[in-house]
Amino acid sequence: MYVSIFLPWLLTIPFLVHSSPDQQPKGLLINCGSDVKQTVKETGLTYIPDDGFTFSGNKTSLDAKNLLPILSTLRYFPDKVARKYCYTFQAIKGLKYLVRTIYYYGGFDGGKEPPIILVAHIKTLSVCIARNNQTVSSPFISAIEVISLDDSMYNSTDLGAYALVTVARSSFGNEDTISITTSEFWNKPPAEAFVTAITMSTTKKLDVQWPPGLLPSTRYHVSLYFRDDRNSKTNTWRVFSILVNGKTFYSNLNVTTDGVTVYAPNWPLSGKTLISLIPDTKSSIAPLINAGEIYQLMPLGGRTLPQDGTVFSDH
């Protein structure tokens, strides 16, 4: 049972195989700088032009071959007088939204900003790009995704006070990228995430340093996923305890063939993160881990000020 913000939750996950094709998510998929509606062949998702969502900036297209449609055009903002350039979208007050911005510039990949999950406080939601003093180039953006989420998703986090910023979403033991459709339940990973795992050949402690980079000292939403890949009729149990940086995350977890997730909505992390799986003394089966998610809790504050440059607008 959940006792305090320092103890995680445990959920059973029915192991289902999702075979249906990708569905257009509830929300807006914006292809910045484009003049026409375009469908990405690889995903089947349709993006619309950004006209009407912003009233500044210039459109341009890239000549590079084999680019996805959403990367082949962009909108840039050469006006050096303004410090902030915003897109504004209609929103339903109190509804959760995933906001993802995508960037690609000519000869190099500008990378992707991780998704941010937040709650709309008013009836509009703004995504703004700010000019900084570290570069002389114009700010630009290639695409924006604003997706409404089911109210049950990440309901353990107070999204009125925090936004969730993606740090890592990993399938352990898998070298390929797993596609996740927005129609799937975000607290439940796709079936493919349970196909592979990290484990030991003997019943010894399993240490996993994840994510590989150093984390700033703050609080995070941490979810870990486990599924026993053995025959459900076996008479032995896969039982182990989970430690994160030496602190007990969950004790005596009994992993089933249905799959379980253990998550903490407000867990402190700093620097390296070491996940330790310690088998129970009575368990003859080695521990394993299939997948994990870490989101940074980004405080939103009690009110939004224009100079903050946040994703909300004040009306």
* Domains parsed from the chain with CATH numbers: 9-19+163-299 (2.60.120), 32-153+301-308 (no CATH)
Other C-beta atoms closer than 10 Å to the C-beta of 8 total 23
What's the confidence (pLDDT) of residue 250?
93
What does the pLDDT look like over 92-134, one tens digit per residue?
A: 888 888 888 888 766 433 444 555 556 666 677 788 887 766 6
Residue 81 identity? V
pLDDT higher than threshold 70 for residue 135:
no
Q: Shortest CA distance to 172 belongs to which of 140, 208, 214?
A: 208
Residues of the chain with pLDDT > 90, as a percent, come to 24
What secondary structure does DSSP assign to 42-82, as a single string? TT--EEEE-BTTB--SEEEE---TT--HHHHEEEE---SS-
- The residues, ordered by sequence, that sit 6+ positions from 84 with a Cβ below 8 Å of its Cβ are 128, 129, 130, 131, 309
- The residues, ordered by sequence, that sit 6+ positions from 303 with a Cβ below 8 Å of its Cβ are none
What's the confidence (pLDDT) of residue 7?
41
What does the pLDDT look like over 157-184, one tens digit per residue?
A: 677 777 888 888 888 876 655 444 333 3
SS3 assignment, position 192:
helix
Residue 271, by phi and psi: left (phi above 0), alpha (psi -120 to 50) or beta? left
Residue 309, by phi and psi: left (phi above 0), alpha (psi -120 to 50) or beta? left
H or E segment to which residue 238 belongs: strand 238-244
